[in-house]
Every structure is written in structure tokens, then in C-alpha cells.
Amino acid sequence: MTALAILVKFTIPEGSMDKFMEAAHHDAKHSMQDEPGCQQFRILIPNEQPNCVYFFEVYNDEAALEQHRKQPHYEVYSKIAAEIGVTRERVDLTLLNP
């Protein structure tokens, strides 16, 4: 059995980290709490990169990821990320040991 995982690296504009993290924690909490297809949603911060944040997310499948993008908590996060001008890089992964 496999699962869909994504690793997303965000670069946060100076002075916007608190606002971004508030939205990120809201999205992570409700993804885990409200979405049966979301297996994990972790927020990571590199020790030596103060304006960088990673999300590690695991979903049952592509359909669960698409469902995630339709949730109200994702909309809140997405709007704030766009407002503050976050840049992101995404890597799609296959988790072999969900």
C-alpha cells in the first residue's frame, strides 16, 4: 500500500512569518481533524533559514489531495499566503510505508 506525499518549501517575505504561521497551523490542524484522507500534515522550520517553512503532507490518494484543496481551512491559508506574497516549491512523492 502506498500514499501520496508532498513536500512544499515556502519562502516567507520579511515581517510576514507570524501571519503565515497562524494560517499554516489552522490549515494543518483542520486537515488532520476534518479530512479522513489526510494522514499527516507537518510543519517544519529549518534551523538556519529564518524565512523558510516546509509542509510535509500525506494523503490517501490524489482524490484526497483534491478534496483538501476544496476545504474552508485551505481557502483561509491560501488567501493569506497569496496576500503576503509567499513563494513555494513543491515535490510530489510516493510514501511506501504509510
Ordered strands of the 38-44 beta sheet: 38-44, 52-59, 3-11, 87-95
Statement: residue 91 has pLDDT above 70: yes
Statement: residue 98 has pLDDT above 70: no
Statement: residue 1 has pLDDT above 80: no
Distance (Å, whole) CA 79 – CA 87: 13
Q: Which domains does the chain have, with CATH numbers?
A: 3-95 (3.30.70.100)
Per residue in 58-69, pLDDT (tens digit) is 999 999 999 999
Mean of the pLDDT values across residues 90-94?
94
Q: Which residues, 6 or more positions from 17, have their beta carbon under 8 angstroms from its beta carbon?
A: 50, 51, 53
Statement: residue 80 has pLDDT above 70: yes
With a pLDDT cut of 70, the percent of the chain lying above it is 99
Per residue in 32-45, pLDDT (tens digit) is 999 999 999 999 99
With a pLDDT cut of 90, the percent of the chain lying above it is 93
